[in-house]
Amino acid sequence: MLALLLTNCSSEPAQKGTSSSSQTAAKQPEYLTGRSAFQQLYISARSWAADVRPFRLQSQFTADAPTSHGQSGLWRGSFASPAKRSMKLFVWSGLTGPDTPVRGVSFSAEDTWNPSNNSTAVFDPLFLKIDSDQAYETAQKHGGEKLTKQDPKQPVFFVLDWNGQENKLIWHVVYGSSQDEAKLRVAVDATTGQFLKVEQ
């Protein structure tokens, strides 16, 4: 009994110390590439509907994000369920702060999904073979490097969606804080990694 009490007493300070360090670590921002974030979002989406299919993945630029590594602290994934004829937005956040979504994966309410709408055309996740960091490297070779040399803090974000006309899954690497303010948009094949075009 005495040995057990001594063991319990000696372990308590260590547990408190571990808890304190884990809380400190939890406050540190976390950044993921697109594929890593997508995997977490897809798992959550599958719990909503077994037949779920993605149709868009998009990052949000934040000042401290290591965009040169294709990473972001905030990824939004849009998914549809053909059986439910509904769609739902899932968000992964590695950030903490009053203006950020709750850390981890959260989701919105269901909305109506129209399978004939080209802007919400679903794709098979198996097409996603190229990660956002690889897409960024390709985009850098086609105009991006010039912009990042001029401004090392150049905002960059990533959009992944299906192009039905070309029958391809595409990474859009966008140099700007929003689509409206983009200085450059580079399209990269998300299956092969091939440069496709500079978008207008």
Average pLDDT, stretch 125-139? 98
Long-range contact pairs involving 10-18 (C-beta distance under 8 Å, separation at least 24): none
pLDDT digits (tens, 9 = 90+) for 1-27: 333 333 333 333 333 344 444 454 557
Structure tokens at 153: 């803090």
Name the H helices within 115-190: 132-139, 145-150
Strand residue runs (E) in 61-151: 71-72, 74-81, 86-93, 104-107, 111-112
Query: Which amino acid is located at 51 in the chain?
Result: D
- State yes or no: pLDDT of 168 exceeds 50: yes
pLDDT digits (tens, 9 = 90+) for 80-106: 999 999 999 999 999 988 888 999 999
pTM for the structure as a whole: 0.85
Structure tokens at 30: 């976390």
Distances (CA, A) of 148 to 69, 70, 151, 156: 13, 14, 5, 10
Select from 176, 173, 159, 136 the least CA-distant residue to 78: 159
The domain ranges of the chain are: 35-199
Higher pLDDT residue, 176 or 6?
A: 176
